Amino acid sequence: MTSVLLPLCERNPEPMALFSVSQTAFLLAFLSLRTYQSEGLSEPLPWAPESLKVSVNTTCQCLHLQWTVHNLAHHQEFRMVFQIEISRIKTSNVIWVENYTTTVKWNQVLHWSWESKLPLECAKHFIRMRSAVDAAKTPGPRVWSSWSSWEEADVQNSLGQDPLFIFPKDKLVEEGSNVTICYVSKSHQNNISCYLEGVRMQGEQLDPNVSVFNLNHVAFIRETGTNIYCKPGQGDGIKGTVLFVSKVLQEPKDFSCETQDFMTLNCTWDPGSDTGLLKQLSQSYTLFESFSGKKTLCKHKSWCLWQVAPESQDMYNFTLMAENYLRKRSVHLLFNLTHRVHPMAPFSVLFKNVSATSATMTWKVHSIGKYYTLLCQVELYGEGKVTQHNISVKVDGARLFSGLEPDTEYLAQVRCANGDHFWKWSEWTHQNFTTAEAAPSEAPDVWRNVKTVQGRCVVTLFWKPLSKPQAHGKILFYNIVIEYLDRTSVSEVLSIPAPASGTELPLNQCSSQIRITASNSVGTSPASVLVVSREPGNEEVEEERVKGTEDGFPLSWNPQPRHVTGYLVEWCEQPRDPPCDLQWKNLGPNVTSTVVSSDAFRPGVRYNFRIYGISTERVPYLLARKTGYSQELAPSDNPQVVMTNLTSHSFTLSWKNYSTESQTSFIQGYHVYLKSKAGRCHSGSEKAVLSDDVVCCKYKIDNPEQKTFVVENLQPESFYEFLVTPYTSVGEGPHDAFAKVTTPDEYSPTLIRILLPTVFCILLIMITCYLKSQWMKEKCYPDIPDPYKSSVLSLIKSKENPHLTIMNIKDCVPDSIEVLNKQEGTRKSLTETESTKPTYLYLLPTEKRYSSPGPCICFENFTYNQAASDSASCGHVPVPPKAPPSQLGLLTSPENLLKALEKNYMNSLGEIPAGETSLNYVSQLASPMSGDMSNLPTNPPEPALCSEYKMQMAIPLGLASPPSSGSSSLSSITLLDEGEHYH
């Protein structure tokens, strides 16, 4: 807390006589007072403070006291001490005691102020005071008057009816200071919460309605201040205040004043960091000049204008004061005005008499008085150079620039300073100008390429554009004059418009002289002369290799015995066709080596060089051919390999399309890698380990032009992988894609050689047979042998043998018919199945069955007669096992037999169970047997003596298997005993 003495009381000038009188009276009074005190201490001091009034200034949170001291004699003055006590909330809570010493006069109203840290609205304050005569020069205890009564300062009564207040309002503090905030609640709510920028604050209760919050080292948050607000737990009665926190005002730096015209002074300074407050609360700057006593309030924060006095004031002593509500800062500056002249920039910069090589620059300056001379500095920028000149100037300046380049843009600039007392240069004033054009100074650099097309010389001319210092202006066109040396043809004149850099000329005759000039708007350049000779030149010069370096290609050649006017080196990229970007370089006659360097050289590109000597007749002749790389690079690609002649032991690789000339380095040869499962390498190869740790065999080919290779000593039916890659001095090609091959079987070719003709022959035979099948059939296996057509018949006839004839079917008596009933198992029970056993119908007398030969019976095979087959083959003739012989007798004739068969068949339809039945003929050679196959008779049946068995070619289905087979079913049926039949 601070106390502030307000200088409200003014001093009255008193005459010296009166002063001495009053002083004497004061001493007398003081002595009498001391005596009075010593005699009776209980008496009050006669000069006690009276009429104490307390007022509150809430803006500054100040208590303002005013009082008087009575009983002072007229013109009486005392130096008195007033002890002031301030209590808060209650009188016993004294928070401030201060002794205020001042000189007291008669009838004077005294004032004293005190600034409270706590907002005065937050609590009642009580003030009282007492006084004593300031007797510092006299020893002894101080005698105090009695205390005045307590005066109360209570602002809360005048707050109004709002339920909540927060104080102080809109307080301005400096960053880092401590602030006390309080709220006053009139609604007796206890749940009021307060926040600083949204963060709740913790305070202390001053009384039941007042809480206090101490904020230490408050920080700057924003220009618009820090929001502090309180709100009750219920309702919408938010109240708040804004705490304006200012950054600390900094002292102005680099304070300086200068004049441009002796009329005004421009004072500038660096205000430092802004206090960061609203414009109304921000700092202000005041300029004070002590010699003139003038003062001006600056409108800007970093500069201020000062009007120079009309009278000649040379010396100035300035004080710059920076001030805000909280702090003041000031800096001083003393100077002589003539030493602080900063001239204005020159003006009216002009150029006169501008030619191709010279120009005159003129300018004007603002006068700073007729007694002052300006020093001007002129700079000229052009062609990458800077020239500087200093010139003394009164009013106007001029400078001649000579030795300029034609058709060139220059920048000229000028600035000035006080020549008598240099302070600062003015700003530059600059202007551009361009010199006039002139005729080109140099002949164009020309080269040619001569070729013969259909017996006619065709010259391709190349020229380099003239550089800017050579062209002296914009080149408009190139003139070409062709003069034929044998003078049989008229000279030709051509004009090629710029910016062409070459042209192709078919010549009437090879021997000619070509003159090339370049022209701009002013004139023509000197001519370049080329002579085209009829002789083609020494094209048979052997090509050499040259190794490029970082600096370029070092080339050298032998000095020529004959006189040359110079050498020329030309180069271009490989390949030359189509024509590359031809480059060339002219060299002097005494030069036999050079380094050709170019930014256009690229690694991995092959360049071809030709060195020519230029004869005195301007005829070029080839001296050397060189080729090389500025930097060789490892091959990026492998040749495209074609594999041929694959055998079980070898194959051939070929990459004839691979060009060794257009690679990224000189090809030295090839490596052939061969991977195999065996992993063995034969002679001529060596083991190599690839990057992926795969071991393979490597064959080396040293000749880059050998582009075929035979891989031998392979295993049949083996899998191989191979790769052909070129190798150079900087490495070989990539090991990326191995081709795969599997060798064939060793015998396969032989087999193929045999099998193919065999198959062919078989096919041929089959086709032939097919085509002649009818013939073959007739010859080899006719369909039905016709006995009447048989050759045997003719033989019989020829022999006239009456006993030999063909038996007629009518002459045959069948011996037996086997009737089979095929049972469907699912529809009949086992017992029922047994009741349907096959039945044999014996057509012959069977008292002694097979025991003796009976009469001859011939049975014609019905299968050869379709009609018979249809009617009988599917018939089933179930015959009861004990059929009477009388019935059998009826069957002795074929007609009866068929009838009987038909009749029995019809009668037995109802008796035949569901299933298949079949009618089979039993061979006359078969003998009836009983039991199973194990009971086969040991004696073979005897054939009937007179019986003759006709040829039976067709066999019903199911009876094709030979009768001797045990597994056979139907054929074996004939071997079964009566009543035993197995399906």
Partner 1 sequence: MRAQLMWRTLPSLVLGLLFLSTPVMGSCLDKDQELLRQLQKQADIMQRTSMLLNPYIQSQGLDKDGLKEHCRERPGTFPSKEALQRLSRQELLRALNTMLDHVLHRLMALQQDIPKAQDLETVNRAKQNIRGFKNNIHCMAQLLPGSSERTEPPPIGPGTSPSPTPTPDTFQRRLEGCRFLHGYHRFMHSVGQVFREWAESPSRSRRHSPRRGLWKGARRVPLSRGNKRLLPRGQLPR
Q: What does the block give as tokens for 465? A: 């554009």
Return the number of the residue (222 or 487) whose C-beta is nearest partner 1.
Answer: 222
Segment interacting with partner 1, rule: CB under 8 A, options 115-123, 250-258, 262-270, 271-279? 271-279
SS3 (DSSP) at 486: coil
Determine how many CB atoms are found less than 10 A away from the CB of residue 962: 8
Total residues interacting with partner 1, rule: CB under 8 A: 25
One-letter amino acid for residue 193 of the chain:
S
Work out whether 159 is an interface residue with partner 1 (CB under 8 A): no
> Coil, strand or helix: which one is 811?
helix
In this chain, which of 10, 236, 540, 550 binds partner 1, going by CB under 8 A? 236
For 394-501, list the strands marked E by DSSP.
Answer: 396-401, 409-418, 429-434, 445-453, 456-464, 477-484, 492-497
3-state secondary structure of 924: coil
**Residue 185 near partner 1 by CB under 8 A:** no
Q: Which is nearer to partner 1, 35 or 158 (CB)?
A: 158
- Residue 775 belongs to what H/E stretch? helix 773-780
Query: 23 vs 224, which CB is nearer to partner 1?
Result: 224
DSSP label of 862: G
Select from 68, 91, 187, 227 the one that contacts partner 1 (CB under 8 A).
227
Per the DSSP assignment, residues forming a β-bridge with 193 are 231
Answer yes or no whether residue 226 interacts with partner 1 by CB under 8 A: yes
Contact between 283 and partner 1 by CB under 8 A: the answer reads no
Under 8 Å between Cβ of 378 and 412: yes
279 binds partner 1 (CB under 8 A): yes
**Min CB(282)–partner 1 separation in Å:** 9
* For partner 1, the closer CB: 164 or 359: 164
Cβ closer to partner 1: 193 or 521? Answer: 193
Contact between 913 and partner 1 by CB under 8 A: the answer reads no
Smallest separation, CB 219 to partner 1 (Å): 13
CB nearer to partner 1: pick between 172 and 308: 172
CB of 638 closer than 8 Å to CB of 649: no
Using CB under 8 A, which of the segments 32-40, 233-241, 585-593, 849-857 binds partner 1?
Answer: 233-241
| Minimum distance from residue 236 beta carbon to partner 1 (Å) | 7
In the complex, least distance from residue 303 CB atom to partner 1, rounded to whole angstroms: 19
Scanning residues 238 to 257, which ones bind partner 1 (CB under 8 A)? 238-242
Stretch that binds partner 1, among 91-99, 274-282, 537-545, 849-857 (CB under 8 A): 274-282
Question: Cβ distance 821 to 878 under 8 Å?
Answer: yes
Q: Lay out the sheet containing 49-57: strands in order across.
A: 3-4, 109-115, 62-69, 49-57
- 168 in contact with partner 1 (CB under 8 A): no
Tell me the sheet residues that pair with 130.
Answer: 83
Query: Distance between CA atoms of 82 and 147, rounded to whole angstroms?
Result: 10
Stretch that binds partner 1, among 222-230, 395-403, 509-517, 563-571 (CB under 8 A): 222-230
Which residues from 923-952 bind partner 1, rule CB under 8 A? Answer: none
Q: Choose among 81, 101, 79, 99: nearest CA to 26.
A: 79
Environment class of 374 (CB within 10 Å of its CB; exposed 0-12, middle 13-18, buried 19+): buried
Instruction: Pick the stretch among 6-14, 226-234, 323-331, 381-389 that binds partner 1 (CB under 8 A).
Output: 226-234
Helices (H), 772-877: 773-780, 791-799, 830-834, 866-872
**Stretch of 193-201, 597-605, 640-648, 815-823 lying at the interface with partner 1 (CB under 8 A):** 193-201
Cis amide leading into 44 (omega within 30): no
CB 614 within 8 A of CB 564: yes
User: Among residues 50, 152, 170, 911, which is the contact residue for partner 1, using CB under 8 A?
Assistant: 170
755: helix, strand or coil: helix
- In the set 224, 348, 586, 729, which binds partner 1 (CB under 8 A)? 224
What secondary structure letter does DSSP report for 144?
Answer: B
User: Does 105 contact partner 1 by CB under 8 A?
Assistant: no
Residue pair 415/423 in contact by the 8 Å Cβ criterion:
no
Which residues, numbered 621-640, are part of the site for partner 1 (CB under 8 A)?
none
- The candidate with the shortest Cα–Cα distance to 976, out of 922, 916, 912, 896, is 922
Nearer to partner 1, 166 or 507 (CB): 166
Interface residue with partner 1 among 73, 278, 600, 755 (CB under 8 A) is 278
Least distance in angstroms from the C-beta of 276 to partner 1? 9
**Of residues 154, 223, 405, 427, which one binds partner 1 by CB under 8 A?**
223
Closest CB to partner 1 among 238 and 493? 238
89: left (phi over 0), alpha (psi -120 to 50) or beta: left
Out of 26, 36, 229, 423, the residue judged to bind partner 1 by CB under 8 A: 229
273 binds partner 1 (CB under 8 A): no
61 touching partner 1, by CB under 8 A? no
**3-class SS string, 270-322:** ECCCCCCCCHHHCCEEEEEECCCCEEEECCCCCEEEEECCCCCCCEEEEEEEE
How many helices (H) and strands (E) in the chain?
Answer: 10, 57
CA distance 824 to 818: 19
779 binds partner 1 (CB under 8 A): no
For the CB of residue 153, give the shortest distance to partner 1 in the complex, in Å: 22
Distances (CA, A) of 510 to 435, 457, 634: 44, 5, 44
Q: How far is the CB of 411 from partner 1 (least distance, A)?
A: 37
156 binds partner 1 (CB under 8 A): no
Closest CA to 57 of 155, 128, 125, 129: 155
Closer Cβ to partner 1, 245 or 674, answer by number: 245
Residues 202 to 221 in contact with partner 1, rule: CB under 8 A: 221
Contacting range for partner 1; rule: CB under 8 A; set: 47-55, 230-238, 644-652, 962-970: 230-238
Find the shortest distance in angstroms from Cβ 159 to partner 1: 12
Q: In this complex, which beta carbon is closest to partner 1, that of residue 139 or of residue 198? A: 198
- Residues 203, 225, 440, 613: which binds partner 1 (CB under 8 A)? 225
Find out whether 459 and 505 touch, Cβ atoms under 8 Å: yes
* Residue number, 14 or 274, with CB nearest to partner 1: 274
Least Å from the CB of residue 225 to partner 1: 7
Rounded least distance, CB 55 to partner 1, Å: 20
Coil, helix or strand at residue 871: helix
* First-residue to last-residue Cα distance in the chain: 138
Interface region with partner 1, contact rule CB under 8 A, candidates 192-200, 374-382, 602-610, 739-747: 192-200
Q: State which amino acid sits at residue 375.
A: L
User: Is residue 565 left, alpha or beta, with left meaning phi > 0 and alpha meaning psi from -120 to 50?
Assistant: alpha
868 binds partner 1 (CB under 8 A): no
The only residue of 111, 231, 247, 671 in contact with partner 1, by rule CB under 8 A:
231
Nearest in space to 823 (alpha carbons), one of 805, 835, 815, 811? 835
Q: Which residues sit at the interface with partner 1, rule CB under 8 A?
A: 169-170, 195, 197-198, 221-229, 231, 236, 238-242, 277-280
